[in-house]
Homo-oligomer: A and B are copies of this chain.
Amino acid sequence: MSKHPARNLLLTIEYDGTGFSGWQRQPGRKTVQGELERVLTSVCGQEIKIDGTSRTDAGVHAYGQRANFKGEFGIPTDKLAMVVNHRLAGGKRGRTTSGPIRITEVQEMPMDFHARFDARGKTYIYRLYNSPELDVFRRNYCYRIGQPLDTEAMKAAAREIEGTHDFQCFQASGSEERLTTVRTVYKADIRSEGKNVDIFVTGDGFLYNMVRIITGTLVEVGLGKMDPAHLARIIKSRDRQNAGHTAPPQGLYLARVYYETKEIPGYEEGTPGLG
C-alpha cells in the first residue's frame, strides 16, 4: 500500500505541435500525451495515464490544453511542474529553455473532477498570416494567405456563426456519427494587426475539424469568394459541401478550456435560447 493518499491533478499544458503526431497516445509514434505520460510515470514512480480535454491533430498547437490524472505520490504541485518541464526540455538546459511541451500550471482537484467531462467551454485561436511573401519562420505556426483579406466581411460572417446551431456543415465529412451536431458558439471574432489575422472561436464543444472548416469558410469570405450574408443559409443547409475548405492544422491553437461558465467570453449572449 502506498503511504500517500490518492490525488487528482489538473495540468495546464502549452505545446508546439510541430514535431508530434497529435495529442493522443499511439504506439510507435511521438505524441504529446505519450511524451507527458512517459515523463510523469518516471517522475511519479508509478504508471500514469492522463486524460486530455481535446485530442488535437498532428501539427496543432496549444497555449492551454488541460488534462487530469490520478496517483498516489507526495510530490508538491509546483515541484512536479518544474521536474517534468526540466525533463521535457532534455535535462540540463531545462532551467533556461523550454522543451516542445511545458506544464504551465498544476492544480489539486477533487477526486471526481474530470478534465474533459467537466469542461464547460473552450477557446480556439486560428492564426492567419496575410502576406504575398512566404516566410520560413512562420511555416509551422500559421496559415499564409497571399491575397488581401477583407477582415470586415470576415467579422460579419463570424457574427453569423455565433449562437446555438446545428453545425453539421462545419464537421469533417466521414466523421463518426454523433448523438447531435448542435453546438453553441458563444463568441467568434477576428482580431487583426498588420499581417496577422487571428480568428477567435469560443464554444461549448466542437465537432471534428470544426474550427478549421470555419476558418476555411471565413478565408473564402475574406477573399470575396463567399458572401457573409450567406453564412446563415450555409449553416442551415447542414451540408459540408456548402462550407469552405479545411484550413491546415498548423495555424490552430487550443487557447483555453473553461470549467466555470462565468469565465467564458460571450457566455451570456451565447447561452442556448438567447443566441
Contacts and interface: CB of A to CB of B under 8 A. Distances in A.
B98 A139 contact: yes
A99 interface: yes
A102 interface: yes
A98 B16 CA distance: 18
A148 interface: no
Contacts of A138: 98
A117 interface: no
Interface in A138-178: 138-139, 141, 144, 146
Interface residues on A, range: 20 to 34
B96 A136 contact: no
Contact of A139 (B99, B141, B146): B99
A85 interface: yes
A137 B61 CA distance: 9
Contact of A98 (B14, B61, B89, B136): B136
Nearest to A100: B136
A42 interface: no
* Tally of this chain's copies: 2
Contact of A136 (B16, B135, B137, B248): B16
A5 to B, nearest CB: 31
Given A97-B144, A98-B139, A139-B97, A85 B16 contact: no
A134 interface: yes
B136 A15 contact: yes
A101 interface: yes
29 contacts: A14-B135, A14-B136, A15-B136, A16-B136, A16-B137, A16-B139, A61-B137, A85-B134, A89-B139, A96-B144, A96-B146, A97-B134, A97-B139, A97-B144, A97-B248, A98-B134, A98-B135, A98-B136, A98-B138, A98-B139, A98-B144, A99-B136, A99-B139, A100-B136, A100-B139, A101-B136, A102-B134, A102-B136, A137-B141
